[in-house]
Amino acid sequence: MGHSFLSHFLVLSCSTPGFSSSLSRAGTKHLKSSITNLAFSRRGIRFGGKSFRCCSSSVSVSQSAVSENSPSPVKKRVVSGVQPTGSIHLGNYLGAVKNWISLQDTYDTFFFIVDLHAITLPYDTQQLSRTTRETAAIYLACGVDTSKASVFVQSHVRAHVELMWLLSSATPIGWLQRMIQFKEKSRKAGDENVGVALLTYPVLMASDILLYQSDFVPVGEDQKQHLELTRELAERVNYLYGGRKWKKLGGFQSPLYHRLEPGLCPSLMGLSKMSKSALSDLSRINLLDSKDLIVNKIKRCKTDSFPGLEFGNPERPECNNLLSVYQLISDKTKEEVAQECQNMNWGTFKPLLTDALINHLHPIQVRYEEFMSDSAYLDKVLEEGAERAADIADTTLNNVYQAMGFLRR
């Protein structure tokens, strides 16, 4: 969770891994860069016939924010987080954090800094606490409202680690060894440099999701397989410990997925998306980049020698990338941008893109500095967020302990 962000919902059958072909758009324009979601109904399920309550594959986010069958409306829950490693870039912001602002008005939202995930690979111990605080400040600067959303640090809610250990006891090691991310990262780093945490990382992610009985979980494309694992783990725990007591407690609910139109933020260099892990900082616009740095990055970004500017030409990937960045940051439609820029050359377009980026990011940077200068307020936000999260997480954790037969405390 939080490595990178993809802007769609996947529809996954309760019984098979097939994808639904039905697509639906969100009710607001800001959700055009939507999110991948793992949905858990917080209502009960039947174990005997393996029957799970499924919903329509065409339900939109705005339509499904409140459970309709409840006597008193209960908001569905969104849980998401970003690792405090590297700088939060434009792709993180447009693909996830900006969408949180719309979601917090309709959903019960929990946005946390996933510092436990940040230590699965070598990291700088001197910077971890600093970058954790900086990430929280960026959340608030981007518009996360603490009167509507809970903001907290993952390690401040101990239930994340405890549930991970309980889930690990039910996780076949073969399930983890088939994870593509583990294979790729371990191959790059070498066996001697890879810790066990990289292998068990998906179990911690499953714990993050299941603790809060989350309805929607924004994650990146590279986490899709981990969401599958979360669903399988929920069903396995239900099967292994699904006695009468566990059923009465509600169990882990069967996850459902919904898909919306993707909206990735492309790299300034080459064909990939913006990423923290990209070697060159020139490939991305970071939210805290100075005006001069943004100017320099746009000046040096890859272009081509074709006349005019256009979307969708396979021979012009750099043109498509930069037009897409402008479209996302200016909040215009693709058609509006195509018409505006069709007769421009790079000498005209680059200053336009630069000004759009600077004007959009400057207010965020000003608010960020304000929050960073008030450490007492930031600490209070994180403390209150952790308390609210722990109230929910501890209930789930205690239920799992009971289901697994532990002596009650």
Is the pLDDT at 40 greater than 50? The verdict is no
3-state helix, strand, coil in the chain (%, to 5): 50, 10, 40
Q: For residue 76, what are its two tokens?
A: 């569905």
Nearest CA to 83 among 113, 109, 110, 121? 113
* Measured torsion, CA atoms of residues 150, 366, 1, 121, in degrees rounded to the nearest 10: -120
Give the whole-angstrom CA distance, residue 294 versus residue 296.
Answer: 5
| Residue 267 burial by Cβ neighbours in a 10 Å radius (0-12, 13-18, 19+) | buried
The per-residue b/e assignment along 194-214, b for 16 or more CB within 10 angstroms, e otherwise, is: beeebbbbbbbbbbbbbbbbb
Give the whole-angstrom CA distance, residue 373 versus residue 396.
Answer: 36
Give the whole-angstrom CA distance, residue 399 versus residue 409.
Answer: 12
Q: Which amino acid is at 393?
A: A
Residues assigned a catalytic role: 185, 273, 276
Helices (H), 272-374: 291-300, 317-330, 334-341, 346-372
In this structure, of 24-28, 93-97, 140-144, 226-230, the range with the lowest mean pLDDT score is: 24-28
Sign of CA dihedral 241, 15, 11, 105: negative
**Ramachandran area for residue 15 (φ above 0: left; ψ -120 to 50: alpha; else beta):** alpha
Is the pLDDT at 405 greater than 70? The verdict is yes
Q: For residue 49, what are its two tokens?
A: 């016939």
Q: For residue 209, what are its two tokens?
A: 């999701």
Confidence of residue 6 (pLDDT cuts 50, 70, 90): very low
Cβ–Cβ under 8 Å, residues 378 and 372: yes
pLDDT of residue 54: 27
Measured between its terminal Cα atoms, the distance across the chain in Å is 32
Q: For residue 169, what are its two tokens?
A: 């006891």
Give the whole-angstrom CA distance, residue 387 versus residue 80.
Answer: 17
- Cα 222–196–131 angle (5° rounding)? 65
pLDDT of residue 67: 57
Confidence of residue 56 (pLDDT cuts 50, 70, 90): very low
**Fold classification of 289-372 (topology level):** Tyrosyl-Transfer RNA Synthetase (1.10.240)
Q: In the chain, what percentage of residues exceed pLDDT 90?
A: 42
The more confident residue out of 129 and 73 is: 129
The more confident residue out of 138 and 248 is: 138
Range 13-22 average pLDDT: 30
- CATH classification code of 29-264+376-403: 3.40.50.620
- Looking up tokens 């600490």, which residue turns up? 379
Q: Which amino acid is at 363?
A: P
The domain locations on the chain are 29-264+376-403, 289-372
Give the whole-angstrom CA distance, residue 238 versus residue 248.
Answer: 12
pLDDT of residue 35: 34
Query: In angstroms, what CA-CA distances link 36 with 59, 82, 238?
Result: 14, 14, 24
* pLDDT, tens only, 116-175: 999 888 888 989 999 999 999 999 999 999 999 999 999 999 999 999 999 999 999 988
- Looking up tokens 């912001």, which residue turns up? 93
Cβ–Cβ under 8 Å, residues 206 and 213: no
Q: Do domains 29-264+376-403 and 289-372 have the same CATH topology?
A: no
Adjacent-strand bridge partners of 110: 79, 150
In this structure, of 73-77, 210-214, 314-318, 367-371, the range with the lowest mean pLDDT score is: 73-77
Nearest CA to 155 among 176, 181, 133? 133
Is the pLDDT at 195 greater than 90? The verdict is no
